[in-house]
Structure 1
């Protein structure tokens, strides 16, 4: 009786009525929920008093929230996806009361009045957690649990039984079928929330553990496997060069052709392996510029000493040496030579791959009017769409079904990482069908 009076007083207080309409609507819902709780034998009376106190203390916060809402009506206070709870309970009043309480706590609630509807809702909605009564007509809670555990899509959903039967044998029967927890009627508001929170924490812990395991496997493959390729690759490259030289001395063009194919294939695989290792190194937090420069200086196979000469060598592999147009200023670059060479290497490869032979490829470098050093590569090829530019990252290739490409899509991602190391940025200006300019400014 006292509890009901307190709920009524909470609603009738004049300073509650004076608030904006959205707050009034909110309090009507809260009043309705509290009034139901006061008359429900399954909820603890002491818990109800706590809820009333919470309501009183929340008034000022709600008023402040509504003032903020006049500036941004659609403010989203909790941007995380709400936990979806399925309640399977044949007693209507309890089902509605639980819905009100969970809704006020920002849960997304789905309800079912019996076992059959509960199974259907679980399969179609795939909730995050299920609260299910045991004693229900036709299909009881044990049968519901058995059905849900038999489907792959719902097998791992946390399942909490609600029951007035508190005997150990009943609990054991539920646990043997795969129930995750038990709450005994009448239960308090906090008991219900704690049971849900406990199950969600378990789910989160399992997901994090699985993610860590996947990451460990990824790191093992990314870091270790490329190193295992290095030794046999060194042998392939070394012996193919010897074969090519010997064939040249003997004038055996057929043998020279075979050796040349082996050498070129080895170089491509070598570049792929080194890009894997470089990208992994660049992705670590504590990597420093000197380490990266040393890695590039020691690992790149057959680079020419001069940057322009190296660009010509690379373009020659694509039959594009005559297409190069240089406009590189004779100024000291703030980028270490191995870093600048690597950047141009990757940008030039893209330009050759996505433009036709006979069209120019322009390479420029120098300081702009703001004193920033800029290097750019321009081609007049297929260009890139806005969505393709947004997707630039590791392991992304564009239109491979149309344009032949070598590698795995690490090039631009590596250039982007290298630019960031020097507080620089990668810029792409592209028009589909007309061409692309990729520039780095540092």
Structure 2
């Protein structure tokens, strides 16, 4: 019998311990629900064992305190530091004391098309709500001043986070201020070992690399810009030109790509002409010469912004990309500002897509003037240079870009009929500028 009694006593002890653990868990739940008032409520609950007469009163008071805190939390009010319940005032008392009462609000279960105000409903007029009204949570759309006849693209896409319409104008205005820091001069007279044709072959080869590795177009434009900046500040030999090209791609891919190029890939496409140490050394020298500043404004970024704001068709944008990409090989275009280059390419694409039957229409609209910041006369000298590149007879060794944009994927924009300079500016440019636009 003694072992049985010991077993029953151990079971009873285990049951009491389990009950105590359950009580402790419940107490923790009460503490977390009561928040900052948990110490006071815990002291009152622990006093129940000593004073059984006030048991129900203390428990009722704890429930009321818990309910008050829960209600205030759900309704979104800001509780005071001592967790003291705000007394309820009637409308007459509030007016006598000079206190304005606002209705408390809660989220309604009704599904509506509206996102903010209609999803809230009045539930009570008791208590001075510290929560802002529903209208305060609605998105505030400031009135943007645009000229008459301008399509306010940023206003229409204000709620689209991908368009960053709140500060997109400031971004591109800042990029325009950065352009003088990356100006490229006429460096070819100093490069005694290079020619403009050699540079064109290098850029054409870089376009082929961009297609084979399926890199972003921003990577290509940044790499070409790095090459020009390096050649502006250092003289290299002919044998190092391809090494500079792959080094520029290596740096640009680190800056723009999610998965940058690897060294062995770049060395493989050069057929072992350079070693790993040579590539790393050229990378260090290139970064040092450009002062480690890779935030270079690119004409491709400006073009995408302008075309999006003007809401041009995809075929027109692809044609403008073809004109702009073809200009990368043209040494005569390296001295122009990237923002103006993008404007000129887009203007030419709009004129060429409209065709010879619509030459009398005004192409450079007030919307384009507003978002680009340029009148047609400000970049008119760039258009003949780009148009000359389109009319230039294709070379057998330089044909990657033309073949690329002759594909159906790019809408065969390389086959669009060309226009003369006079046709491009017909009824769009003042007479004083027409004298220098003849082809």
Q: Which has the higher contact order (CA 8 A, sep 6+)?
A: 2
Larger radius of gyration: 2
Relative to the length of structure 1, the TM-score reads 0.21
Relative to the length of structure 2, the TM-score reads 0.21
